[in-house]
Structure 1
Amino acid sequence: MSLPHKSLQDKLDAFKADFQAGKPPYNVPRSAIETMHRATAELIASGAAGLALKAGDKAPAFTLDDPDGKAVSSAALLAEGPLVVSFYRGVWCPYCNMELQSLQAALPTFLSFGANLVAISPQTAPNSRKSVRQNALDFPILSDPGNDVAAAFGLRFALPDYLVELYKGLKNDLPAFNGDANWTLPMPARFVIGQDGTILYAEVNPDYTRRPEPEDMLPALRSASRTAAA
């Protein structure tokens, strides 16, 4: 079964090329681009992604609020079928927004396997509502204060001081976006969780400009669907 969208990574690469070329409306200085590259390279070199949960691990149970303050629990969602979970940085991140749009395009396919889809970020409810509105989403965006659930999946990391200073200069105020004084983010990640809580698919990338394709999860969803039907 194919999904109704072009390659997500192709779209991300095209955006990245324009962004790094300083094209309007971004006009980001070359020195800022190099600082972002440095931070990404250091996060990759740290090996943090290798410590995140992997296929075969048990997923931590979580209960988080949607933008309307309604509690959404992983246990309730898993009672209905497998669960696709996407961790993203926030509405301020254009790469994340393109990923959310790609997941929205794939949502009918996920539903055909009996799967639910949620996306999790550290941002406040008003920013989650903005994510839903801007990207025309039909699946829940959940707020993870302090990135605590992200930490349970092995995804939380602290921004280096020099990147914090850059973000402040660019008016990218993460404490305001997240309602949290700590400058932490989740590494972008995607998981498929089976109804027994076992992670069937995991993709974690410390390079936020790289995201897996939605169709990469289909083998895991097919397997989970066959298990549920057995």
Structure 2
Amino acid sequence: MSLQDRLDAFKADFEAGKPPYNVPPSVIETMHRATKELIASGAAQQALKAGDKIPAFVLTDHEGNSVSSASLLAKGPLVISFYRGVWCPYCNMELEALQATLPEFEALGARLVAISPQNPVNSRKSVRKNNLSFPILSDSHNEVAAAFGLRFTLPDYLVELYQSLKNDLPLFNDDDSWTLPMPGRYVVAQDGTVLYAEVNPDYTRRPDPSEMLPALKQASMRSL
């Protein structure tokens, strides 16, 4: 089953209010409204695209170590996944799919990192929950996400919904800005050039990690 098939199956059960979710229709309507507004804003068109150079960054991983983009790229091509946090089931399914594809990334000489605004404590939860063997990096205040063109501010009505659902982003992220990254995936050559970019303001839509393999093969050829 592809990643999107898994996401679609979860979404169907969640939006139908099936146990254990039992979500009322009003919640679904509010989430749909926010997604439609983010799509209509054109924010995704401002994100980095193939051919752009990524901004240099230094972030803290789930074990408290500083990790720089320069050190990662010195070792080979880089796969980057921006995600919302351990509280997001769609993100967790994507992380699991990335983990399953990791051997193929590594066979092409690539490193994989995931970046979210959550603090290192919650990043460790992501690693445990999804049995990950790649680093989760904490992007405080979504500053790196903003440099990639992915950061957006939640509308007030969505903040109110999250608060009513006890989805406390300020607590998860140690940041009261109520911002999130649009989910984004990048393949980056060793010189920092983006070879593959996929950004979708609809967080329920995620490409299968295998779609990044052709770009990684290209990156491997460039490094020869």
TM class by smaller structure: over 0.9
Partner of 2:217: 222
Residue identity matched to 1:200: L
Q: Is 2:177 aligned against 1:182?
A: yes
Equivalent in 157, 164, 167 of residue 159 of structure 2:
164
Q: Which amino acid aligns with 1:19?
A: F
The one-letter code of the counterpart of 1:220 is: A
| Structure 1 position 223, deviation (Å) | 0.4
In the TM superposition, what whole-angstrom CA distance separates every residue of 1:177-203 from its partner, at most 9, and x where no partner exists? 000011000000000000000000000
How far residue 102 of structure 1 moved from its aligned partner, in angstroms, is 0.1
Residue identity in the other structure for 2:187: V
Cα drift, residue 115 of structure 1: 0.1
Which of 55, 64, 69 matches 2:50?
55
The answer on 1:66 being equivalent to 2:74 is: no
What SS class does the counterpart of residue 22 from structure 2 fall into? coil
User: What do residues 140-189 of structure 1 show as CA deviations (whole Å, max 9, x unaligned)?
Assistant: 00000000000000000000000000000000000000000110000000
What SS is found at the alignment partner of 1:109?
A: helix
Distance 1:201 1:178 in 2: 28
Aligned twin of 1:30: 25
Separation (CA, whole Å) in 1 of partners of 2:213 and 2:58? 25
Distance in 2 separating the partners of 1:118 and 1:62: 13
Name the residue aligned to 2:6: 11
> 2:97 aligned with 1:102, yes or no?
yes
| Structure 1: gaps spanning 5 or more residues | 1-5
Instruction: Indicate whether 1:131 and 2:126 are aligned.
Output: yes
- State the distance in 2 between where 1:114 and 1:32 align: 43
Number of matched pairs: 224
> 5 Å matches for 1:187-198?
187-198=182-193
Is residue 142 from structure 1 mapped to residue 140 from structure 2 by the alignment? Answer: no
SS at match of 2:198: strand
Other-structure match for 2:36: 41
Map Cα deviations across residues 108-132 of structure 1 (whole Å, 9 max, x no partner): 0000000000000000111000000
Separation in 2, partners of 1:125, 1:24: 31
In 2, Cα distance between the equivalents of 1:28 and 1:176?
23
- CA distances 1:14-54 after superposition (whole Å, capped 9, x unpaired): 00000000011111110000000000000000000001000
1:58-85 CA-to-partner distances (Å, cap 9, x unmatched) read 0111110011210011100100100000
Secondary structure in structure 2 of the residue aligned to 1:101? helix
Tell me, in whole angstroms, the C-alpha distance in 2 between the residues paired with 1:93 and 1:57: 29
| CA distance, structure 1, for counterparts of residue 171 and residue 18 of structure 2 | 27
Match in the other structure for 1:114: 109
Give yes or no for the alignment of 1:207 onto 2:202: yes
What TM-score do the two structures reach when normalised by structure 1?
0.97
Determine if the alignment matches structure 1 residue 86 to structure 2 residue 88: no
SS of the aligned residue for 2:223 comes to helix
SS in 2 for 1:25: coil
Structure 2 unaligned regions, length at least 5 = none
